[in-house]
Amino acid sequence: MLKINNLHAKIQDGAEILKGINLQINPGEVHAIMGPNGAGKSTLASVVAGKEDYEVTEGEILFQGNEISEDAPEERAHRGIFLSFQYPVEIPGVTVTNFIKAAINENRKAKGLENMPAKEMLALVKEKSEQLNIKRDFLARSLNEGFSGGEKKRNEIFQMMMLDPKLAILDETDSGLDIDALRIVADGVNSFRNEGNAVLLITHYQRLLDYIQPDFVHVLADGKIIKTGDKSLALELEDKGYDWLLN
Ligand SMILES: Nc1ncnc2c1ncn2[C@@H]1O[C@H](COP(=O)(O)OP(=O)(O)OP(=O)(O)O)[C@@H](O)[C@H]1O
Ligand SMILES: [Mg+2]
């Protein structure tokens, strides 16, 4: 589904952050990326999603066989790439529900489909919000405005479940969640997972991986993947930290 070959990327007019990333994610897989602060994890997520602050200087990003490094962020979204941000933006005046409706209909339009019928949309909103324990008054609030940290994260998972992407990239969706919210978010991701999609989880905590079982765990440090393993690698990191890998 996603194949990244020797990816190098830099900040526009700035330093190189990604220094030769290789990563292959197949349908049905969940990959976790861990690594020290400033390693380039969020940058990797942004570069895959097409954020314009970064420039690919070498290598390629293949999504379902297509080279996408030159595509606009919205084209990538239409192809089925979803990124939840470490720090979601606030959009005053646009409600949670209207934002997601617009996003779904934009995706449909790009595929030559009509808007989703209102009734179907309503049913979908109801199903997914109930699954995530999101209250009705929350859906009528302005997007992310005054949301608590946990509410922002839960809303991101709501967006993911509504949009039903092929590849969901979740950047520290677990940080700031209380234990109940963590479980709800993890259940959301687990119910989203299927043989046809894939998830890339960026996290600092092995705790999340108790709830969402990854197929692979990668350590990203100084712009490179320096180690790949299975779930046990996350446990080892929790125990030993990163120092033993960095020498
Ligand atoms: N737009 C930008 N402008 C300037 N520096 C940037 C920019 N984006 C990333 N960087 C720098 O690139 C490095 C990697 O940042 P990134 O956010 O990818 O790290 P991270 O691995 O996600 O860290 P954390 O675990 O703290 O979230 C950092 O030194 C950061 O300051
Ligand atoms: Mg980050």
Amino acid residing at 244: W
Report CA(162)–ligand 2 centroid distance (Å): 24
Is residue 40 a contact partner of residue 17, using CB atoms and an 8 Å limit?
A: yes
Q: Whose CA is nearest to atom 6 of ligand 1?
A: 11
Spell out a b/e string for 30-65, using b for 16 or more CB atoms within 10 Å of the CB, else e.
bbbbbbbeebbbbbbbbbbbbeeebebeebebebee
Residue 86 pLDDT? 63
Indicate yes or no: pTM above 0.85.
Answer: yes
Is residue 169 a contact partner of residue 202, using CB atoms and an 8 Å limit?
A: yes
Report CA(41)–ligand 2 centroid distance (Å): 5
List domains and CATH numbers for the chain: 2-246 (3.40.50.300)
Tokens of 4: 């990244």
Q: Whose CA is nearest to atom 26 of ligand 1?
A: 37
SS3 string, 155-177, reads HHHHHHHHHCCCEEEEECCCCCC
Closest to 17 measured CA to CA, from 243, 220, 202, 244: 220
Give the pLDDT confidence of 117-134 residue by residue, as tens digits.
999 999 999 999 999 889
Give the pLDDT confidence of 145-204 residue by residue, as tens digits.
888 888 888 899 999 999 999 999 999 877 778 888 888 889 999 999 999 999 999 998
3-state secondary structure of 245: helix
Rounded percentage of the chain residues whose pLDDT exceeds 70: 99
Closest to 43 measured CA to CA, from 74, 76, 72, 21: 21
Give the pLDDT confidence of 66-96 residue by residue, as tens digits.
999 999 999 999 999 999 876 677 778 899 9
Q: Whose CA is nearest to atom 31 of ligand 1?
A: 38
Ligand 1 residue neighbourhood (C-beta within 6 Å):
11, 14, 17, 35, 37-43, 53, 86
Closest to 31 measured CA to CA, from 190, 230, 173, 224: 230
Ligand nearest to the CA of 36: 1
Give the pLDDT confidence of 4-16 residue by residue, as tens digits.
999 999 999 899 9
Give the pLDDT confidence of 104-114 residue by residue, as tens digits.
999 999 999 99
Q: What is the pLDDT averaged over residues 28-53? A: 96
Report CA(160)–ligand 1 centroid distance (Å): 24
**Which atom of ligand 1 sits closest to the CA of residue 44?**
18
What dihedral angle (degrees, nearest 10) is formed by the CA atoms of 183, 184, 187, 193? -120
Residue 22 pLDDT? 98
Residue 183 pLDDT? 87
Residue that wins the pLDDT comparison between 181 and 2: 2
Tokens 């960026």 found at: 202
Is residue 33 a contact partner of residue 214, using CB atoms and an 8 Å limit?
A: no
Closest to 18 measured CA to CA, from 86, 64, 69, 66: 69
The answer on pLDDT for 38 being more than 80 is: yes
Question: What are the two backbone dihedrals, phi and then psi, of residue 33, each rounded to the nearest 5 degrees?
Answer: -115, 125
Report CA(87)–ligand 2 centroid distance (Å): 9
Tokens of 27: 């349908």
Q: What is the pLDDT averaged over residues 216-222? A: 97
Q: Whose CA is nearest to atom 27 of ligand 1?
A: 37
Average pLDDT value for the chain: 92
Ligand nearest to the CA of 38: 1
Report CA(116)–ligand 2 centroid distance (Å): 34
